[in-house]
Amino acid sequence: MCKTTVMARILTGIQSTGVPHLGNLLGAIIPTIEMSRKESNKMFAFIADMHSLTSIKDGNTLRENTYSVAATWLAFGVDIEKNVFYRQSDIPEVSELSWYLSCFMPYTRLQLAHSFKDKSEKLSDVNSGLFNYPVLMAADILLYDAEIVPVGKDQKQHLEYTRDLVDRINHQYRQEILIKPEISLNDKTMYVPGVDGQKMSKSYGNTINIFESDKKLRKSIMGIKTDNLGLEEPKNPDTCNVFRIYSLIGSEDQKNELDENYRKGNFGYGHAKQSLYELICEKYGNERELYNELMSNKTKLDEKLNFGAEKARKTAKETINRVRSVIGY
């Protein structure tokens, strides 16, 4: 008798705040795509362009950011046949479910949200979208009956709110209307140093954009901060930002060779930076080329996103009809 493989339904949201940098790729995008390739997993991955509206008010910027994220994931091989890859704003049911959920979310719970408190102290544009962010996030998850939601520590409270909403609604109507997701806490996110040695982040302005032209990419890498040891002197690779980034990308043999060059001397930081530049060009050459092809053909990008949206809406409609019927619509 043949066994039927039951796939775990995993949901992940992707911020669309700009061109993904090397830290995004190594720390989140590549590992998530690899996870989605497992036969036992089916991933719903959406570009969270509605969430981005809380901070980005320029339409062209928001649109280009969304395309850039889509092109990155496609260039790095997300399987849109096996998985569901879509743009959040293409699914109107998420806004409808968000309203229903908001009618069950206690106002005082939202007041206690850590992320809103943090952002309201730092941002000049403190809008109600930021306040209601956890409810929209809950709708993103519950609309697709997601079973597993990988999140960082900063999102754990939002997942707890989502699970609480499921309990409230299922208890109110005395039936299982919504599926309670499991929290998969990702507390081992790869630390990728930026050009200044701090964690690579757009907010620090220390990122490496691998999709830039060769000239701009090389200039970024040549700007990585190092100490002032001369060419002839042996160097410690363990304390060098260039080597730390290189070691996250290169093979064991490549890392060992660079390590040896550092320690024996007559090898300058300019040589190390050139090695990193050549490694990135070699390892991600195909992805860089495909990304730029996609970004120059937005019609093709829209086709792929629309393909995912059609699959997502099929599940979304089933969920929203189930919810409507019990709440009285």
Same domain (yes/no): 71, 137: yes
Same domain (yes/no): 232, 259: yes
Q: Integer distance in angstroms from the first to the last C-alpha of the chain?
A: 44
Same domain (yes/no): 144, 121: yes
pLDDT of residue 104: 97
Higher pLDDT: 311 or 183? It is: 311
Same domain (yes/no): 177, 259: no
What CA–CA distance (Å, rounded) separates 224 from 240? Answer: 10
Same domain (yes/no): 178, 259: no
DSSP 8-state secondary structure symbol assigned to residue 46:
E
Asked if residue 160 belongs to a domain, the reply is yes
The whole domain housing 272 covers 211-283
Number of domains in the chain: 2
pLDDT of residue 2: 46
Q: Which two structure tokens, joined as six digits, stand for 20?
A: 């993904």
Asked if residue 288 belongs to a domain, the reply is no
pLDDT of residue 190: 82
240-267 mean pLDDT: 96
pLDDT of residue 118: 77
What values do phi and psi take at 78, rounded to 5? -60, 130
pLDDT bin (cut points 50, 70, 90) of residue 1 is: very low
Same domain (yes/no): 82, 161: yes
Cβ distance 231 to 272 under 8 Å?
no
Ranges 86-95, 142-151, 270-279: which has the least confidence: 142-151
Same domain (yes/no): 105, 216: no
pLDDT of residue 187: 67
The b/e string for 17-36 (b: 16+ C-beta within 10 A; e otherwise) is: bbbbbbbbbbbbbeebbeeb
Look over the chain and give the mean of its residue pLDDT values, rounded to a whole number: 93
**Which residues partner with 279 through β-bridges?**
none
- Percent of the chain with pLDDT strictly greater than 90: 80
pLDDT of residue 5: 53
Q: Is the pLDDT of residue 3 over 50?
A: no
pLDDT of residue 188: 67
Torsion of CA 94, 98, 99, 105, to 10 degrees: 170
Q: How many helices (H) and strands (E) in the chain?
A: 16, 5
What CA–CA distance (Å, rounded) separates 45 from 78? Answer: 10
51-77 mean pLDDT: 96
Neighbour tally for 251: CB within 10 Å: 10
Ranges 37-51, 132-146, 173-187: which has the least confidence: 173-187
**Which residues partner with 151 through β-bridges?**
185
pLDDT of residue 81: 96
Same domain (yes/no): 248, 147: no
Asked if residue 202 belongs to a domain, the reply is no
Same domain (yes/no): 183, 135: yes
- The DSSP line for 71-123 is HHHHHTT--TTTSEEEEGGG-THHHHHHHHHHTTS-HHHHHT-HHHHHHHHH-
Asked if residue 292 belongs to a domain, the reply is no
Neighbour tally for 99: CB within 10 Å: 12
What CA–CA distance (Å, rounded) separates 268 from 261? Answer: 9
Same domain (yes/no): 92, 216: no
Q: What is the pLDDT of residues 196-245, one digit of tens each?
A: 999 999 989 999 999 999 999 999 999 999 999 999 999 999 999 999 99
298-317 mean pLDDT: 98
pLDDT bin (cut points 50, 70, 90) of residue 289 is: very high
pLDDT of residue 183: 84
Same domain (yes/no): 114, 28: yes
Asked if residue 316 belongs to a domain, the reply is yes
pLDDT of residue 6: 62
Dmax of the chain from CA atoms? 78
pLDDT of residue 130: 86
Q: What is the pLDDT of residues 5-41, one digit of tens each?
A: 567 899 999 989 899 999 999 998 999 999 999 988 8
pLDDT bin (cut points 50, 70, 90) of residue 155 is: confident
What CA–CA distance (Å, rounded) separates 282 from 55? Answer: 36
- Percent of the chain with pLDDT strictly greater than 70: 98
pLDDT of residue 121: 76
For residue 10, give the nearest of 201, 179, 218 by alpha carbon: 179
Asked if residue 41 belongs to a domain, the reply is yes
Asked if residue 35 belongs to a domain, the reply is yes
Same domain (yes/no): 231, 146: no
Here the CATH number for the domain that contains residue 105 is: 3.40.50.620
pLDDT bin (cut points 50, 70, 90) of residue 4 is: very low
Asked if residue 231 belongs to a domain, the reply is yes
The structure's pTM equals 0.92
